[in-house]
Structures are given as structure tokens and as C-alpha cells.
Amino acid sequence: MLDFYSISGEGIKKETRKGNWLAVSNPTEDEKEQLHNDYDLPKKFFSLGENYSNVSFFKKYQTEDKDPICLMLFINIESIDEPELLSSTVTIFLTSEVLITVSESPLIDEVLENYKSDITTKAGLILHTLQVINSHYLAFLRKQRETIEEISQGTSNGSNKTILEKTTHTEKNLVYIDNLLKEQRKTINHLLESSLVSSDRDLAIEIELQTKQATTSVQIYREMLGSISGLINSMMDNRLNQLMKFLNTASLLLALPTLIFSLWGINTGGLLWRDSEIGSIMVVLLALLISIVSGVYLFKKDYDA
């Protein structure tokens, strides 16, 4: 789908044909051929985002006719629940005459809904698009913070399978977002240092602060989650140690009556109560008494002292 717009000091106006901003979403082969002929674009330009979905990129080129062109790739997460499965690349092709964006329609709709009256230049459109992309990352990180708080509360009640699964899933998401942000921050820094956004320095500073906040937050949350994971591992080790202590104690208590019964089963003379009518009961009572005394002693003994 091709949507034509005009960007001027009066804002953004939608056009039926031509304009200085072309928003492309899921173009057909005929539309790709049309754009290739109209704007002399490489045919592979429209598949860059599909082939390199987790890569951010910024590069300025000088063409043979001395007209500079710029190619940018930015990574947008479309879902804060499954960012790895639902992320897309926004491809931007900028010339002196036209700005072409290749992205999912919801992103462009969100940019227009929030900033349509504020966009008066092509650089402003790029920066406001980045502002929306950064807001998606910050919303995702806020949700991860809430999840980390839930995990922290869960560990106070003891670790369980749900907490472990949630911890693993959150850690995986943070690792993925951390690498995306590191990659994208380099691209954004190149853009902000270029002359393309010289007329929108205030907005550029805000974009830079948003990007820095996102990269700093993800590092903090990863360290917080790492501390909680260490606590969960320690709790599991302690629980395993307690279980092994109980099992070893139980094994020892079961071994004592077995030993006594084995001794009284020796077919030789001299054993106590051998010829008594209540000898068997006395042996059982003796084994029971020794087991009770040993059990009380073992369970009260402090092995950490």
C-alpha cells in the first residue's frame, strides 16, 4: 500500500498522487516496480527490513549526480508481550526531494495520531517516528519492571515452577532488548550527529535522552533480575540441602533397628532375652527406644554451628 503526503510548515497533508513523503506498507510487486521507476530506487530496498529485521543502520551516500541520499534502518517492537516474535524494521530512504518510509501501518498511524500537527519537516518526521519507537521500548521496560517486582514478591513465598518460568522468560526478553538497544543507539547517535536534524535540535536532544534512558534501564533491570536469580538458586540449594539432611537422617534411623534385629538373629548362645517368652517384644522395644533417642538427637543437632 502506498500513501502520499506533503510535509510543509503548515503540517502534513495527505495527497492522492506524489508528495515529499511516501509511506509504504506491504507493497505489491507492481508497486515496487512503480517506485523503482519513479524514484530510481534499488529493487532490494523494499526487502531490507525483511532480510535484516534485527539490524539498525545509518549511511549517507553521494550519488553520481551529486545529490546526497541517506538510508536508515530502525528496529521497532510491535508487542510488549512477545518482542522477539513481533519486531519489525523501519526502513527510511531520504533524498532532497522525497522521504520514503517502509514500515507497518500501525506505526505510521500512531505517529500521525500523536504528532501530525507537530511535524513540519522531513527531519521532524524521522525524529517523531523515533520518538514513537522509543516509547514502545520504554513501555516494554516498564512492564518488565512490574514483572521483576512480581518475581521478587514470589521468591519471598518460596520458589516454584511459575516463578522460575517467569524469570527465564523475562531474562530472555531483556537480553533480546538489550542487544537491540545497543545496536539502535549507535544508529541514532550517527543520525543526531549529522546535519539532517540540525533544525530540530530540541527534539533530537529528547530522542537522545529517551534512548539513553532505555539502554540504562535495561542494564539496571538485568542486574536486578540477576540478583533475584541468584537468590532463587540459593533458595533451591538450601531446600535441596534440607531434603538431603532429612533423607540421610531417615536412612540412619532405619538402619539402627535393622542392625539390632540382625544382631539378635545370630544363632549363638549368650544373647539377652534369648529364652524369654517376651524376648521378641523386648528387642522391638529396645530398637524403638534407640531409634527415638537417636532421632531426637539428630533433628536437634545444629549442623551449621
What's residue 303's pLDDT?
58
Q: Is the pLDDT of residue 181 over 80?
A: yes
246-282 pLDDT, tens digit per residue, is 788 788 878 888 887 777 777 666 667 666 777 778 8
* pLDDT score, position 156: 64
pLDDT (tens digit, 9 = 90+) per residue, 66-80? 567 788 888 888 776
- Cβ-defined contacts of 214-220 (< 8 Å, 24+): 214/134, 214/137, 214/138, 214/141, 214/181, 215/178, 215/181, 215/182, 215/185, 217/138, 217/141, 217/145, 218/141, 218/174, 218/177, 218/178, 218/181, 219/178
Dmax (CA) of the chain: 119
Cα separation, 174 vs 179, whole angstroms = 9
Average pLDDT of the chain to the nearest whole number: 79
CATH architecture of the domain 2-236 equals: Up-down Bundle (1.20)
Angle of CA points 16, 20, 22, to nearest 5°: 65
| 269 Cβ neighbours under 8 A, 6+ residues apart | none
**Between the CA of residue 158 and those of 28, 166, 167, 180, 226, what are the distances in Å?**
54, 14, 14, 33, 17
pTM: 0.72
Rounded to 5 degrees, φ, ψ at 282 are -65, -40
State pLDDT tens for residues 115-166.
888 888 888 888 888 888 888 888 888 888 888 888 777 776 655 677 777 8
pLDDT of residue 305: 46
d(CA 305, CA 300): 12
Rounded to an integer, the average pLDDT of 233-240 is 74
Express as a percent the part of the chain with pLDDT over 70: 88
Output phi, psi for 53, to 5 deg: -75, -20
Task: Report the alpha-carbon distance of residue 156 to residue 232 in Å, rounded.
Answer: 10
- Which amino acid would we find at residue 305? A
Task: Quickly count helices (H) and strands (E) in the chain.
Answer: 7, 7
Per domain, the residue ranges of the chain are: 2-236, 251-300
Strand partners, 233: none
pLDDT, one tens digit per residue, over 48-67 is: 766 777 778 888 776 555 56
CB 156 within 8 A of CB 55: no
Mean pLDDT within 213-233: 81
* Average pLDDT, integer, range 10-30: 79
**226/108 Cα distance (integer angstroms):** 37
At residue 302, the pLDDT reads 64
Of 92 and 233, the structure prediction assigns the larger pLDDT to 92
Order of strands, sheet of 2-8, starting from the edge strand that comes earlier in the sequence: 11-15, 2-8, 21-24, 99-102, 87-94, 68-77, 57-62
Kindly report the backbone phi and psi dihedral angles of residue 18, in degrees, each rounded to the nearest multiple of 5, phi listed first: 65, 175
User: Can you list the pairs that 161-167 forms with residues at least 24 positions away whose Cβ atoms lie under 8 Å?
Assistant: 163/232, 164/232, 167/225, 167/228, 167/229, 167/232
Amino acid identity, position 283 = V
Residues linked to residue 99 through DSSP beta bridges, in sequence order: 21, 94
Specify the pLDDT at position 170. Answer: 82
